[in-house]
Amino acid sequence: MIFVRELTRVFESGNQDILAVDQVSFHVRPGEVYGLLGPNGAGKTTTLRMILGLLKPTRGDAEVEGFLVSTHPDEIKRRVGLVSTSAGLYQWLTPREILTFFADVYGVPAMQAADQVEKLSRLFGLSSFMDRRSATLSTGQKQRVNLARSLIHDPPVMLMDEPTRGLDVVGSKVIFDYIDLLRDEGKAVIVSTHRLDEAEQLCDRFGLLHNGKIDYEGTLAELQQCTSCQTLTQIFLQLLDAPVENAKNIPAAQRELI
């Protein structure tokens, strides 16, 4: 379970302050895929970095499986996996070496790590290139190694930052299947993306982030009901036109757990 409470981040840039994330609150249950959606610069990556403990919030806090990121950052890292298209692989290492290395970093016992490496190799179809240097792998093969790496410590929570960026339809399908697997395994998942068409297929609930604020939150049906729009794209465009009035229509029940 993830709770995000009034997360706020101000960046100082020269003599100008940038309010990148502004009192963002939401929760994600086990087995739920939450879409954190927004245009470029909306604050998606900054929010994920704060949840993971890579960036200190100016205000607010995040809680994962009962641990606060402000007081137990290491416990959070143990319980959270990260999939990011900007994450590279160590070019000189093979997928087997990379997976074994990360298992060690996360403190997975050696016997369990070997089993987990075999399981993930089967799951993501890595066996034909497990012992080749990563530099020689195709983009799609590297992507599958990255997905396997994110699960090496079997975390209950997964954060995915623009997971399909730069991928073709086959690569995107791998990500779609992977997210279904995470849901089936009962993990709490946050997917950050500006691909609203994909999010509509992938996510159970959505937070629409704009200028660092979540103005709208709900399932697709709830968002359709309060905007009279059909698709997430139409809903988002309406939100950009009249964020404040529309925000008042969010059913209060959606925030009850926060």
Ligand X SMILES: Nc1ncnc2c1ncn2[C@@H]1O[C@H](COP(=O)(O)OP(=O)(O)OP(=O)(O)O)[C@@H](O)[C@H]1O
15 binds ligand X (CB under 6 A): no
Q: Report the distance separating Cα 139 and Cα 151, nearest Å.
A: 19
| Shortest CB 103 distance to ligand X, Å | 29
Return the residue matching tokens 């089967």.
Answer: 122
90 binds ligand X (CB under 6 A): no
109: how many CB neighbours lie within 10 A of its CB?
11
Q: What angle do CA 5, 35, 27 make, to 5 degrees?
A: 25
Q: Choose the stretch contacting ligand X; rule: CB under 6 A; options: 33-41, 96-104, 114-122, 229-237.
A: 33-41
Q: Report the distance separating Cα 61 and Cα 33, nearest Å.
A: 21
CB 249 within 8 A of CB 242: no
Both structure tokens of 145: 């190694």
| Shortest CB 204 distance to ligand X, Å | 21
Both structure tokens of 200: 């509509």
Question: Measured from the CB atom, is 40 or 201 closer to ligand X?
Answer: 40
Q: Choose the stretch contacting ligand X; rule: CB under 6 A; options: 13-21, 26-34, 108-116, 121-129.
A: 13-21
| Shortest CB 11 distance to ligand X, Å | 3
Buried-state track 239-255, b at ≥16 Cβ within 10 A, e below 16: beeeeeebbeebeeebe
| Shortest CB 44 distance to ligand X, Å | 4
- Pick the binder of ligand X from 1, 3, 6, 18 (CB under 6 A): 18
Question: Measured from the CB atom, is 18 or 240 closer to ligand X?
Answer: 18
Point out which residues bind ligand X (CB under 6 A).
Answer: 11, 13, 18, 20, 38, 40-46, 194
